[in-house]
């Protein structure tokens, strides 16, 4: 992939993540990436193509970051990993996180958002396997519960309170996923 294309896609993610989906225009991406006018449209002829390119780019970037951490075999290990991930995704990677949410909402057809959904399914299967290894099959079936709790906390941090504490909430969510809801 060309350097110009990379620069345009990186700039598009930052634009969406900091200024919203309406900021995504070929001209604004060119300016944000310090590219000559028309550079982005050479790679993405239409806004729909640019949206699809950004969605693919986010999914590709996430896969390139090295996959999942090493073996997590305890409830505390899972809590620690999710807490760290939450801090990163709502801190240094907050713009990309906001862009991902905006793109999920903007993408009107299944084909366009497919790369992000595929990423989500991979992460859900990984979470399910971790929970099953830690707490058994029933725990694995509660992976959507844990992911929803993490999504809610992440959304809260990137929209309302960037300094909201995460560890206590993650601890409760992991315990509920591993052991089932408290009776």
Give the per-residue pLDDT at 61.
85
Q: Are residues 23 and 112 in the same domain?
A: no
Neighbours of 67 (CB within 10 A): 9
Q: What's the number of domains the chain is made of?
A: 2
State residue 67's pLDDT score: 61
**Backbone dihedral angles phi then psi of residue 160, each to the nearest 5 degrees:** -110, -55
- According to DSSP, residue 161 is labeled -
* Separation between Cα atoms, residue 115 and residue 102, nearest integer Å: 14
The pLDDT of residue 119 is above 80 = yes
Residues 91, 168, single domain; the answer is yes
Whether residue 174 is found in the same domain as residue 109: yes
pLDDT of residue 104: 84
| pLDDT(82) > 90 | yes
CB atoms within 10 A of CB 26: 23
Q: What pLDDT shows up at residue 50?
A: 92
Residue burial 154-173, b: 16+ Cβ < 10 Å; e: rest: beebbeeeeeeebeebbbeb
**14 and 76 in a common domain:** no
Give the residue from 143, 173, 140, 142 showing the smallest Cα distance to 156. 173
Would you place residue 19 in the very low, low, confident or very high pLDDT band (cuts 50, 70, 90)? very high
* Residue that is last in its domain, among 19, 38, 60: 60
The answer on 172 and 114 residing in a single domain is yes
* Judgement on whether residues 73 and 99 belong to the same structural domain of the protein: yes
* pLDDT at residue 109 in the model: 74
Per the prediction, the chain carries an average pLDDT of: 90
| Same domain (yes/no): 47, 120 | no
What domain range includes position 142? 68-179
Is residue 154 over pLDDT 90?
yes
The residue among 20, 38, 60 that closes a domain is 60
What was the pLDDT predicted at 183? Answer: 63
Chain segment 57-70, per-residue pLDDT in tens: 988 887 777 666 67
pLDDT at 42 over 60: yes
More confident call, 175 vs 100? 175
Average pLDDT, integer, range 15-42: 95
Q: What mean pLDDT is predicted for residues 119-126?
A: 89
Supply the CATH number for residue 21's domain. 1.10.10
Instruction: Check whether residue 42 and residue 94 sit in a common domain.
Output: no
Regarding whether 89 and 37 lie in a shared domain, the answer is no
pLDDT of 43 strictly over 90: yes
56 and 72 inside one domain: no
10 lies in the same domain as 53: yes
């Amino acid at each position: 992939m060309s350097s110009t294309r990379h620069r345009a896609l990186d700039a598009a993610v930052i634009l969406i993540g900091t200024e919203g989906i309406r900021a995504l225009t070929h001209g604004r991406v060119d300016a944000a990436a310090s590219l000559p006018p028309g550079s982005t449209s050479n790679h993405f002829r239409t806004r729909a193509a640019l949206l699809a390119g950004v969605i693919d780019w986010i999914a590709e970037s996430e896969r390139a970051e090295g996959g999942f951490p090493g073996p997590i075999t305890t409830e505390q290990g899972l809590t620690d990993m999710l807490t760290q991930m939450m801090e990163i995704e709502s801190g240094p990677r907050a713009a990309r996180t906001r862009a991902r949410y905006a793109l999920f909402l903007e993408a009107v057809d299944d084909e366009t958002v497919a790369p992000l959904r595929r990423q989500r399914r991979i992460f859900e299967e990984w979470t399910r396997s971790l929970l099953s290894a830690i707490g058994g099959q029933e725990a694995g079936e509660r992976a959507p519960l844990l992911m929803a709790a993490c999504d809610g906390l992440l959304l809260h941090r990137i929209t309302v309170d960037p300094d909201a504490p995460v560890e206590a909430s993650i601890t409760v969510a992991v315990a509920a996923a591993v052991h089932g809801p408290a009776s």
